[in-house]
Amino acid sequence: MQKLKSYIQNKTHPKGSIAEGYINAEHLTFCYMYFNDIETRFNRSEHNCDVGAVPNASALSIFQHKTHGLGASTNNELSLNEWTKISAVALS
């Protein structure tokens, strides 16, 4: 409702002003859908879109998103000496 109220420019005729604002917004939306060389909300890539990812073919289609987490996971192997030191600190 607030979005429609923001279209009002002529306070004496609010209904006509809302209708005119809505039509202008629809025109812009229609035009933006066909701008291929300009980035709009209709052709913008997703925030965490992983272009090189291949979806899992055996999974359901709702789980086949080409995305990745925001942080990369790493596995580090600890030596016996490091493991002993960490255990001593954690247990004390």
Per residue in 2-42, pLDDT (tens digit) is: 666 676 766 776 777 778 888 888 888 887 777 777 777 76
Sequence-distant (6+) residues with CB within 8 A of 33 are: 40, 42
Based on the structure, what is the number of domains in the chain?
1
75 found inside a domain: no
For 16, list phi and psi in degrees, rounded to 5: -65, -35
C-alpha to C-alpha distance for 13 and 22, rounded to whole angstroms: 14
17 found inside a domain: yes
For 36, list phi and psi in degrees, rounded to 5: -85, -35
87 found inside a domain: no
Amino acid identity at 51: V
C-alpha to C-alpha distance for 17 and 4, rounded to whole angstroms: 9
pTM strictly above 0.95 = no
| Domain range for 32 | 1-43
